Structure 1
Amino acid sequence: MSLINVLLRSTLQPAVRSSVARSLHTGTTHCFHYTPVLCAEPLKKKKKIDPQILKQREERKRKRLEKQIRRLEKNARQLKPIEELEVPIELLDEQDKRKRTGLKVSTEEQEQRILLEKQWAKYKMQEKLADYQAIDRVLAAQTKALNELRLESEELYQQAIQPDQALLPLKVEGPVSTPPLTGYEMPDGEYIDVSKKWD
Structure 2
Amino acid sequence: VAVDPEIAKIREERKRRKLEKAILKLKQFGKKPNPVEEIGIDIKLINTLDTRRREPAPINEEEEMKRIVILKEYARSRVLLANENVRWIKDATRRQFRALEALKMVSPELYKSAVSSEHCGLPSIMEGPSLTPPIEGYKSPDGDYKDITKQWVQPELPLLIKKFGVGRLIKTPTFQKKLLEQRKSQEGENKKEEEPKKKTATA
Q: TM-score range by the shorter chain?
A: 0.3 to 0.5
TM-score, normalised to structure 2, is 0.40
Higher relative contact order (CA 8 A, sep 6+): 1
Larger % of helix: which?
2
TM-score, normalised to structure 1, is 0.40
* Larger CA Rg, structure 1 vs 2: 1
